[in-house]
Structures are given as C-alpha cells and as structure tokens.
Amino acid sequence: MKLAEAKHAFVTGGASGIGLGIANALAEAGLNVTIADINEEAIEQVVKTRANQFRGVKLDTRDRDNWKRAKEEAEKVFGPVDVLINNAGIAPHGKPLADTSFESFDTLMNVNLIGPANGAMTFAADMRDRGKGHIVNTSSSVGLSAFGGGVGVYSMTKFGVAAMSYALRQDLAPHGVGVSVLCPGIVATNLHANTVKIGGESNDDPSSKPKPTVTADEIGQMVISAIENDEAVIVTDKGFWQVVEYGIAPVRAACELREKA
Ligand SMILES: NC(=O)c1ccc[n+]([C@@H]2O[C@H](COP(=O)([O-])OP(=O)(O)OC[C@H]3O[C@@H](n4cnc5c(N)ncnc54)[C@H](O)[C@@H]3O)[C@@H](O)[C@H]2O)c1
C-alpha cells in the first residue's frame, strides 16, 4: 500500500529496538503510531520523543482480551489501523529442545508465535473489510532455516510466524491487504534484558553473541519500502540465501530422490 494513503500504524514491541526503529520510520513517513508494549515505563519515554505522532497503549500480546481493549483505545485516538507491525518478541532461551522446561517452551511459544497470531486475528478482518492495509510480522533469519541447539525452540516460533505470514498473504491479497514477513539478521537491541524482565530465559554469554549485522533504523527503512512495494519477505542481510539453502537442502535432496524413483 502507498503510505501516503495510510494514517495509523500499530506497532507491538514498539517501545524498544526493532519495533522502535520501525515506529520512527513510519512516523517520518507521516503516520500516527500507536506504541503497543508490555513495558509501561519504556512506552512513556518513547512517546515523549514524538508527542504529536506517538501514543502509547499497554499490551501483553499473549492476552486476548487485552488486544481487543488496545485496538479500541488506539482507534479512538487515531482512527482505523492501516498498518499492523506484529513485532513484540523475546530472545532464544539458549537450550536444546531436549533440555527445555515446559514453562520456558510455553513462554517462547506464547510471546513469539501466539502473540503475533492474536494480533493478526484482532486486525486482519477489519483490514479485509475496509479493502486496505498492510501487516508486517517479525520472524528472524532462523525463521526460514532452522537450527538446533540454543535457538531450536526460538526457530520453531519464528517458522510459525513465517508460515502465518504466507497464509495471511494469500488470504488477504484479493482484498487489497498486503502481508510481509520480516527476517532480521543480528541487531543490537534490549532483547536480553527485556526477555528476563517478562519472565523469559535468555543466555547473555558475551562469547556467544554474534556481531550486529544491521541497525533498527535501517530495518525501519526496509519495512517502509516493503510496505510501499508489497514485498512478501524482508531480508536484512547479504548472503542470506546461503542460510536458507542450507535449511532446505534436505528437502531438495528428498525431492530429487523421489523424481528418480
Ligand atoms: N535483536 C535481534 O538480533 C533480532 C533478530 C531477529 C529477530 N528479532 C526479533 O525482533 C523482535 C523485536 O526484538 P528486539 O530485538 O527489538 O528486542 P527489544 O527487547 O529491544 O524489543 C522488544 C520489545 O517487545 C516488548 N515485548 C516483549 N514481550 C512482549 C509482550 N508479550 N507483549 C508486548 N510487548 C512485549 C518489549 O518490552 C520490548 O519493548 C522480536 O520478535 C525478536 O524475536 C530480533
């Protein structure tokens, strides 16, 4: 959709990191932005930075009743939501599936996968009925190519977000609504601290921390361009195809085997 036609964006996890980078880019593009976040203190600080264009709403994306209230509150101020950025999420918990507690598994699933699904189910039907809108769901570079170890469960959630995005895109395209899945590389954000704050597990071992490959502000610009051009997938790093190819190599091998049979 052309952002000149859009007035209101709703950004989950908008009070920090990637969500804030996207919120700033959308505000620069002329939209009013609802910063929806679980962290009230952070919302307060961020809203001050653009008092004319930002409004805050407290939202735990896991809580379905909370979504309904947040939508109503936001739309009372800025009108119908044209752009939904389903971005709130937490870090990988650093343990292989075999060593994962049910509690930690549920927290990751609920925040990283169920949360964005709640967002889509809260806003998609309205966008479809209005024949206008765009949804961006934040997945990850490990959302298209799965790895085990400490990112295995995180990867499961982010694959789910990618699958949801493709399905939604097919459903909503005939109604003039676009959907993109955002697959960021490594970004320096407050992900570790915020994960712990909401009761999740995160391994903050500096030796296991890869170097940032892209900034939140750069991602904000990529998201603007993806909305304008209705791009299905947003990849932030060069060389990403090799990562994806590694993940789908066994599928290719299986298909080739079947062709030969
Ligand atoms: N930082 C990276 O390298 C990276 C890479 C790929 C994908 N991601 C994904 O990007 C998204 C944003 O993460 P970030 O790195 O900007 O981290 P961040 O912690 O800086 O920002 C995330 C925001 O989401 C909020 N949040 C967390 N759980 C919430 C919930 N249940 N309800 C509402 N708000 C909630 C936090 O309070 C925080 O403000 C996440 O989905 C993360 O998985 C991050």
* Residues 6+ positions from 6 with CB-CB distance below 8 Å: 31, 82, 83, 134
Q: Which two tokens stand for residue 203?
A: 């391994």
Instruction: Please tell me the predicted confidence (pLDDT) of residue 202.
Output: 87
pLDDT tens figures, 13-47: 999 999 999 999 999 999 999 999 999 999 999 99
Measure the CA–CA gap between 133 and 127, rounded to whole angstroms.
6
Q: Which residue reads 């044209």 in tokens? A: 82
DSSP secondary structure letter of residue 211: P
- 146 pLDDT band (50/70/90 cuts)? confident
Instruction: Please tell me the predicted confidence (pLDDT) of residue 206.
Output: 66
Nearest CA to ligand 1 atom 42: 89
- 4 pLDDT band (50/70/90 cuts)? very high
Q: Which two tokens stand for residue 236?
A: 């932030």
CA of 253 to the centre of ligand 1 (A): 35
Instruction: Please tell me the predicted confidence (pLDDT) of residue 149.
Output: 92
Mean pLDDT of 117-128: 98
Q: Which two tokens stand for residue 109?
A: 């699933």
Above 70 in pLDDT, residue 6? yes
Mean pLDDT of 97-119: 97
Percent of the chain with pLDDT over 70: 99
pLDDT tens figures, 219-231: 999 999 999 999 9
CA of 174 to the centre of ligand 1 (A): 31
Residue count (the chain): 261
CA of 88 to the centre of ligand 1 (A): 5
Nearest CA to ligand 1 atom 43: 89
Q: Is 131 exposed, middle or buried (0-12, 13-18, 19+ CB in 10 A)?
A: exposed
Q: Which two tokens stand for residue 170?
A: 């097919």
**Coil, helix or strand for 54?**
strand
Tally of domains within the chain:
1
Reported pTM: 0.97
Neighbour order of strands in the sheet with 233-235? 54-58, 32-37, 8-12, 83-86, 133-138, 177-183, 233-235
Instruction: Please tell me the predicted confidence (pLDDT) of residue 37.
Output: 98
Instruction: Please tell me the predicted confidence (pLDDT) of residue 143.
Output: 95
Percent of the chain with pLDDT over 90: 93
Binding pocket residue ranges, ligand 1, CB within 6 Å? 12-13, 15-19, 37-39, 42, 59-62, 87-90, 111, 115, 138, 140, 184, 186-187, 189-191, 194, 198
3-state helix, strand, coil in the chain (%, to 5): 55, 15, 30
Catalytic residues, by residue number, are 154
CA of 89 to the centre of ligand 1 (A): 4
Instruction: Please tell me the predicted confidence (pLDDT) of residue 210.
Output: 83
Please give the residue range of the domain that contains residue 87. 3-260
Indicate which atom in ligand 1 lies nearest the CA of residue 39: 37
**The CATH number of the domain where 142 resides is what?**
3.40.50.720
Nearest CA to ligand 1 atom 22: 13
Mutation pick for ligand 1 pocket among 145, 194, 237, 243 (CB with most ligand atoms within 8 Å) = 194
- Average pLDDT over the chain reads 96
Instruction: Please tell me the predicted confidence (pLDDT) of residue 207.
Output: 64
- How far is residue 122 from each of residues 84, 138, 160, 194, 247, measured CA to CA in Å? 10, 17, 18, 24, 32
Above 90 in pLDDT, residue 209? no
